[in-house]
Amino acid sequence: MSTLEDEQYEKHREAGRILAQVRDEAAERVEVGASHLELAEWAEDRIRELGGDPAFPVNISIDEEAAHATPSPDDDATVGEEMVNLDLGVHIDGWLADTAVTVDLSGNAELAEASEEALAAALDVVEAGVSTGEVGAAVEDVIEGYGFNPVVNLTGHGLGHWEQHTSPNIPNRAVSQGATLEAGDVVAIEPFATDGSGKVKEGSDEEIFALEREASVRNRQARQALEQVVDEFKTLPFATRWLGTSRAEMALRRLEQQGVVHGYPVLKEQDGYLVSQKEHTVIVTEGGCEVTTRSR
């Protein structure tokens, strides 16, 4: 392994150390009455305080929501007796860590436990030479053993430089045509369990966006927003509330219409059933894996 690679992996590890701490601290703040906006902003500020940057906006997904839910700039939602999924990311110079945890306030602890145990089983399987289909089979076996279904159209993923989702995909069920994990791969493994049929669909809300391409933009607010995105976030996802320009929502609509940014609609269980999630980032090794986001 070259010195450059050593440095990259150390940045992945540092991102993971920061993220594990913030995830655990944020989970303790999830209680009935807690403000979504205050929780998200607290976690993002805490990441910066500890020396990292958010790799994407803090996701706070409730009940049937599985991903891409983050507070709007004037969000007044508060936590109820619900299933709450926190999904957080950190980067150090573009090298990422990604983690998630379910805090169950809805009385469905077994569903949260199913995704947690599925992740533990997946981590036991991961090593160089193993097919991602085998990892998916381990996830599926555990979740079905609890009497639930894995969410089959969501997957874990590789983590690249300034890229939140790269190959390989890590399925949440057994597949015959999986990729082969290699030593040095950095991957996020994230089982989703549901008491529904096991598929998510796109909702109508969008608060998270990412740069699609750079282009000349005539509208002043849209141009200011684009300059901030290119300078600060590059190709990583960002939230409407992160933009410093006035009329940020209008600016983003213009940029989206021109194909300059793309949005991430909130993903929801297709029939409105609950979803739990648990995620770690790992570095694949010859004999197993190094979990970068484990609590210290």
- The annotation places the binding site at 68, 87, 98, 157, 165, 190, 279
Is-catalytic flag, 98? yes
The three-state secondary structure class of 104 is strand
Longest dimension (CA), the chain: 56
d(C-alpha 197, C-alpha 177), whole Å: 23
Residue of 72, 87, 92, 104 whose CA lies nearest to 23: 87
Which of 12, 36, 91, 157 is catalytic? The answer is: 157
Which residues make Cβ contacts (< 8 Å) with residue 174, sequence separation at least 6? 133, 134, 136, 137, 140
Is-catalytic flag, 124? no
Which of 144, 165, 212, 290 is catalytic? The answer is: 165
Is-catalytic flag, 207? no
Which of 87, 140, 206, 207 is catalytic? The answer is: 87
Sign of CA dihedral 170, 294, 117, 275: negative
d(C-alpha 184, C-alpha 197), whole Å: 35
Sign of CA dihedral 91, 97, 100, 101: negative
Which of 98, 140, 185, 195 is catalytic? The answer is: 98
d(C-alpha 266, C-alpha 200), whole Å: 10
Which of 104, 116, 190, 206 is catalytic? The answer is: 190
Residue type, 80: G
How far is CA 137 from each of CA 1, 23, 148, 195, 218, rounded to the nearest angstrom? Answer: 31, 27, 14, 18, 50
Residues in binding site for a divalent metal cation: 87, 98, 157, 190, 279
DSSP run (H or E) holding 266: strand 261-269
Is-catalytic flag, 279? yes
Chain-centroid distance, C-alpha 14: 17
The three-state secondary structure class of 68 is coil
Is-catalytic flag, 190? yes
Phi/psi of residue 11, each to 5°? -70, -40
- Angle subtended at Cα 187 by Cα 185 and Cα 105, rounded to the nearest 5 degrees: 165
Catalytic residue set: 87, 98, 157, 165, 190, 279
